[in-house]
Amino acid sequence: MVNIFLTILPTPPTGTPADLAAAAITFFSLWIARLGGLVAFVGAIKFAISIKSEDANEKILAILTMVSGFMIVAAVGNLNVFTFGAAGAEAEFQAIMTFISRWIGRVGALILFIGSTMFGFSIKNNDANAKVSALKTIAAGAVTTATAVLLPQFV
């Protein structure tokens, strides 16, 4: 009787824990991607049906459903990002922080430029409230730019 039950049960998987974890991640990511594709398909069908009606909310809900499905598929599409070693992860982190720092600096400089332009127009119009608003914008741009300059020092 015991032999019958043992033949029904599958044999346990073998391999190192890393191999087993990689196999599990691959299995689950495949099925999550399939479910995401199904959600996108349902959203596409809902959108096709909603074209006939005049209800904009129904169309928006259908598009959001479809986009959600595509986002799920894209999120599990490439899981090779988890295979970094310690040096690779550090290099990737540094690259991301450099990118963020560069764009924070650019946005800060843009805010500073906009504030300077606002200040110039407020001087032309002799408007005290506009001068104060422009100076606050300049200060915000300067702080943002300084943050971008200092960010690499702490990372």
Q: Provide the pLDDT for residue 114.
A: 94
Q: Provide the pLDDT for residue 116.
A: 94
Tell me, yes or no, whether 49 and 90 share the same domain. no
Residue 112, pLDDT > 90, answer yes
Tell me, yes or no, whether 97 and 72 share the same domain. no
Alpha-carbon gap, residue 136 to 119, rounded angstroms: 10
Residue 2, pLDDT > 60, answer no
- Residue listed under structure tokens 């799920």: 72
Q: Which residues touch 61 (CB under 8 Å, ≥6 apart)? A: 46
Structural domain count, the chain: 2
Tell me, yes or no, whether 99 and 154 share the same domain. yes
pLDDT tens-digit profile of 51-96?
877 778 888 998 999 999 888 888 887 766 566 666 677 787 888 8
Tell me, yes or no, whether 65 and 114 share the same domain. no
Q: Provide the pLDDT for residue 86.
A: 62
Q: Give the amino acid at 22.
A: A
Q: Is the pLDDT higher at 35 or at 19?
A: 35
Specify the DSSP class assigned to residue 55. Answer: -
Specify the DSSP class assigned to residue 82. Answer: G
- What is the domain range of residue 111? 84-155
Q: Is the pLDDT higher at 22 or at 101?
A: 101
- Does residue 66 sit within a domain? yes
- Does residue 6 sit within a domain? no
- Does residue 76 sit within a domain? yes
Mean pLDDT (whole number) for 2-8: 58
